[in-house]
Structure 1
Amino acid sequence: MNPRMQMVVPFTKMVKRLVIANVVIWVGAILILQGFVLQGDFVYQYFGLVPARVITDFWVWQIFTYIFLHSGASHILFNMLSLWWFGSELESRWGSRFFLSYYFVCGVGAGLIYLIGTVIYYLVTGKVIDMAAPLVGASGAVFGLLLAYGLLFGERMIYFMMLFPMKAKYFTMIIGAVELVTMLDSGPGSRVANLAHLGGLAVGFAYLSAVARVRARRSTTGGAAKRGRRLKLVVNNERKTSDRDLDHDPKNGPKYWN
């Protein structure tokens, strides 16, 4: 595998659909509906992840819908570029179905971790504003993609801050460390939801680890069962005693291919 990152990343099918969906929702719901039809921040309050709404009003759909909302042009641009760069190679490696499930597992999981962390932060500090502030963006899912990219393509060279060449695995570690330090300094309910970013990294690692263990277990048990189906019992009662004695020699045991 060439350790250098491709100059032109392919635009795969599911990544293209996700980018289109995010852009259409941002233009339709935020620029048009929110900007000209509705008053206030109705769209963000109803479809963003608002911890107080999820807990008190049981608006559980917000854990999913917040992934498709973005706060501004730079926000959606950065997330969609990252989705394209990291997601297309992962989809090419995994296939569309597993890629899509992983994307949403990381996005929803990041939202849940943010929700739990914000509630704990509120109980400790009493800051109600963090409970009422909506979380929006695909960043949690994108950070899950970054984690997977760092694991699968760790030797690839990418450019930190668009200037410094660095292996993908080190880039992932640095980004994770920066997010952790920033969150500890500003708290989980800051303007940039670092806790959701860290949640995407953590959920992505846990999900890939669980899938790897399940597949390893299935390959072990499935391989043994498959080999068992290939074995045949052959009885030859006409063999001489000297022939039976040969069975005690392990060199004359059955041979088969896995």
Structure 2
Amino acid sequence: MATLAQAEGREVSYPEKCRSVQARKKHKEKTIRDNPEPLYDDYIQLDGKRIKNNLIFYTTLITAWKSAICEEYKQPHSHHNLKARVEEERDEPQANGTDSEEEDPVKLSPSPSDHRLRDSLALLELDFTEFREHAQLKLSDSHNTNMFIQELKDELRQLKKDTNSSISELTRALRELKEENQTLRTQICKLEEDREKRRELLQTAKRNERAVTEKHRRQHNSPQHSSYYRLHKHRQRACHKHTDTRRNTNITCPPS
């Protein structure tokens, strides 16, 4: 429930030239229409007193206000929470009366119903203030909700676009990796074949080398090879001896 401080509104101030009832009413309507945001106090004359009986404001969204208030505050009674009227532009009529006629209120005798009416009006002012604040919040929330939904739709659309782009890039990268993997497998198989061939060639070369070594060893240890070696050594010693004899002969014999 709104407090009394929250339910207070502005008071319309009238210039000096607004002396007639119609002029003051037209000025009040213009002020409210030019300033639709704040609430304004509305007064009546009762028992010689000026009593605030309502809070008024100007709006072009009568149906929206009525729907929002009636939806939030459902009433089982036949009367409505909000009464609205469309003010028509009127020319200021000629003032036929006097200022004293405008300012003299109709004297009414006080009664218990008047007190109840005042209490009801005070409660109505508070309720109406709550209605207006809630309706403004509803309208603001609805606008913000629509904007938020639109932003979510835009973000979702962008997210889908980015996701599809990422999927396409990943698919392309995966295809390239598969091709590269196949190429590497082919190269590895070729390297394995080359290594196997080199291993076989190396084993063949080692076998040939062992065979040649074994052949040389057998030839060296054979009897024919030993006789040939002894004969070769004997010839070498004889040759060396003959050479030494000739050298000695040349030294002992003087020249003729």
Would you say same fold, with TM above 0.5? no
Which is higher, the Rg of structure 1 or of structure 2?
2
TM-score computed with the length of structure 1 as normaliser = 0.28
Identify which of structures 1 and 2 has the higher relative contact order when contacts are C-alpha pairs closer than 8 Å and 6+ apart. 1
TM-score computed with the length of structure 2 as normaliser = 0.28
